[in-house]
Chains A and B, each alone.
Chain A
Amino acid sequence: MQAVNIRIIQIVLLVVLLGGWQLGVTSGAIDRFFFPAPYDIVKQVIAWVSDTGFYKHVGITLSETVLGYIIGTGLGVGAGVWLGLSPFVARVLDPFIKAVNAIPRVVLAPIFVLWLGLGLWSKVALAVTLVFFVTFFNAMQGVREVNPVVLSNTRILGARRSDLLRHVYFPAAATWILSSLRTSVGFAVVGAIIGEYLGASAGLGYLIARSEGNFDAVGVFAGIIILAVFVLIIDLILDFAEKRLITWRPNAGEERPA
């Protein structure tokens, strides 16, 4: 009952908001140039979605995101596990890592464009720099916080260093990494979009930048809506993946007393 009520209120709110906006625009109270009518935005979204050429843009943004995520996570896990296991190296590199992490990643975009051109890879590189640090810190933390008793026990059972990596350190890091999955994919999307926005010939970020260049507010808003849906869909997929991947962790309330 309560749930249904909440849904009804949400829908009413949405209708009032969008209806008010639409009315405001048609009556002339709101400037159409800055806040185009919702109806026009929806029309633009439908026009794009029904155009096959549009999916090329989605495909490019998606591949940049996925590549950036995979490469960034891979490098982050590798470096995180390595530094987690070698406190000496970690201490040596610490100031450098902090310095690099302090750079706002957006300013790297022009350099990546210089190095890698306007194509796919400069966007992937930007996404990688964003994703890397999230997974890196999580993986390092995961390795450092392995229970020493568990570690001793596994060693006594006969584990060599490679066994420890495979059966103890990586799974321990994996839980931390999976818990940061959402954040890091979000960063991958941001990296791809900003890269496209700053200079590209295709992609969702490019669509927004192009509309902006034409003073086409309808296009900008339509792009924003499509991006939001894009991220929501990725989020749903991740939700599903997360539940399938971590089966060994108790769900809330499932934990048994000792």
Chain B
Amino acid sequence: MSSPVRKLEAVTELKPKPMVAIDDVTMAFGSFVAVQNVNLKVGDGEFLSIVGPTGCGKSTILNAIAGLLKPAQGKVSIDGTAVQGVQNNIGYLFQQDALLPWKTAFQNVELGLMFRGVPEEERRAKVFAWLEKVGLKGFGDRFPHQLSGGQRKRVQMAQALITGPKVILMDEPFSALDIHTRHLMQNELLRLWQEDRRAVVMITHDLEEAIALGDRVVVLAAGPKSRVIESFPVDLERPRNVAEIKLDPKFMTLYRDIWASLRGEVEKSYASR
């Protein structure tokens, strides 16, 4: 599943062929324009964080990549193929609980493989391997309501990643967790991602999270008619420890720079309501 080449590659934003390309995309609901003329490219193996004030239409960009929403204008493509309808070669980590409550952790993780017609033996082996990877060995028989919030997130990670998606989309994946669980899960996520680097697009309103996890941070303007205003490369070494990296002077400089750009937008978003 993992290619050694991908691991060794230096990750920069200048990639010859982007994994995700968003060309001049406008998302609208009736006459309400959420985002306008957004251009973004995400390289293969790149971890892109998108920050913006609440209500700036961040999620609609993810949903356009996933094929859950159709852009009013512009084009989205994954690995050179235009997005049409719901995409199956992506993994989507939702903010809310997205597990089927009537299926056990095992059955939930199994879903993607089952829909793809993977034979049962192979499925079992893979699901057990993934449950162990996310630290849930022996929890396969639990139903979601019998798991803690962090454990449910782990199941969701295994569920989204088991199919080996080309792109991983995350919509404020950890915002519902308490701070310690959040750090734990962020480190866990980085560990999994480091093992097998895929393109990641993560949306968050937490700037610390955006910098600590991302290779690049993109700032969106306050909505409506939100657009990309600035892009900051994050040149922090990997592997990173999310809780400790915040003390790194480079982290603080980055934080100050990006916050300077984001602050105005946050203020605007408050002023308009």
A: residues with CB less than 8 A from B are 147, 149-150, 152-160, 163, 167-168, 171, 174-175, 247-250, 254-258
Shortest B88–chain A CB gap in Å is 4
Query: A255 contacts B145, CB within 8 Å?
Result: yes
User: With A147-B96, A156-B92, A258-B177 given, can you name 7 additional A-B contacts, CB distance below 8 Å?
Assistant: A149-B97, A153-B99, A154-B111, A156-B87, A157-B160, A256-B145, A258-B176
Residues of A close to B112: CB separation below 8 A: 157-158
Distance in angstroms from B141 CB to nearest chain A CB is 10
Q: Are B148 and A248 neighbours in the complex by a CB distance under 8 Å?
A: no
B145, A155: Cβ atoms closer than 8 Å:
no
Is B86 interfacial (CB 8 A cutoff)? Answer: yes
- Chain A CB within 10 Å, residue with most, of B88, B102, B148: B102
Q: Is the CB of A153 within 8 A of B148?
A: no
Q: A249-B145, A250-B145, A258-B149 are in contact. Are A155 and B100 (CB under 8 A)?
A: no
Contact of B116 among A149, A158, A255, A256 (CB under 8 A): A158
| A163 close to B115 (CB less than 8 A) | yes
Q: Are A150 and B98 also in contact (CB < 8 A) when A157-B111, A157-B159, A158-B112 are? A: yes
User: Assuming the A-B contacts A153-B94, A168-B100, are A159 and B111 also in contact, with contact meaning beta carbons closer than 8 angstroms in the complex?
Assistant: yes
Report Cα–Cα, A257/B177, bound state, in Å: 11
CB nearest to A164 among chain B residues: B115
Give complex CA distance A250, B111 in Å. Answer: 22
Give the Cβ gap from A116 to chain B, nearest Cβ, in Å. Answer: 38
Complex contacts, B88 vs chain A, CB 8 Å: 156-158
Chain B residues 125-166 with CB under 8 Å of chain A are 143, 145-149, 152, 159-160, 163
Contact A158 B115 (CB under 8 A): yes
24 A–B pairs (Cβ distance < 8 Å), ordered by A: A147-B98, A149-B97, A150-B98, A150-B99, A150-B100, A152-B68, A152-B98, A153-B98, A156-B87, A156-B92, A157-B88, A157-B163, A158-B111, A159-B115, A167-B111, A171-B102, A174-B102, A247-B143, A248-B103, A248-B104, A250-B146, A254-B145, A256-B146, A258-B148
Q: Report the separation of the CA atoms of residues A171 and B66 in the bound assembly, to the nearest whole angstrom.
A: 25
B80 contacts chain A at the CB level, 8 A cutoff: no
B158 to chain A, nearest CB (A): 12
Residues on B lying within 8 angstroms of A by beta carbon are 66, 68, 86-88, 90-92, 94, 96-104, 111-112, 115-116, 143, 145-149, 152, 159-160, 163, 176-177
Known contacts A149-B96, A256-B145: A160-B90 contact under CB 8 Å: no
**Chain B residues with CB below 8 A from A150, complex form:** 97-100
Residues of B within 8 A of A158 (CB): 88, 111-112, 115-116, 163
Partner of B102, one of A149, A175, A255: A175
Which residue of A has the minimal Cβ distance to B151? A256
Residues of A within 8 A of B87 (CB): 156
B147 and A256 contact, CB distance less than 8 A: yes
B92, A152: Cβ atoms closer than 8 Å? yes
Ranked nearest first, the 9 interchain pairs of A and B with the lowest CB-CB distance are: A258-B149, A158-B115, A153-B98, A157-B112, A250-B145, A248-B143, A171-B102, A158-B88, A248-B102
Q: Which residue of B lies closest to A168 (CB)?
A: B100
Contact B86–A155 (Cβ < 8 Å) = yes
Tell me whether B148 and A156 are in contact (CB under 8 A).
no
Smallest Cβ-Cβ distance to A152: which chain B residue: B68
Contacts of A254 in B (CB 8 A): 145-146
Give bound CA distance, A12 to B44, whole Å.
80
Query: Nearest Cβ distance between residue A162 and chain B, in whole angstroms?
Result: 10
Q: Which residue of B lies closest to A151 (CB)?
A: B98
Q: How far is the CB of A182 from chain B (nearest CB, A)?
A: 20
CB distance from B74 to the nearest CB of A (A): 21
Closest residue of chain A to B95 (Cβ to Cβ) is A149
Q: A158-B112, A248-B101 are in contact. Are A257 and B148 (CB under 8 A)?
A: yes
For residue B149, which residues in chain A have a CB less than 8 angstroms away from its CB? 257-258
Q: Which residues of A contact B145 (CB under 8 A)?
A: 248-250, 254-256
Write out the residue numbers on chain A whose beta carbons fall within 8 Å of the beta carbon of B148. Answer: 256-258
User: Closest CB-CB distance, B255 to chain A, in whole Å?
Assistant: 28
Give B85's nearest chain A residue, CB to CB. Answer: A155
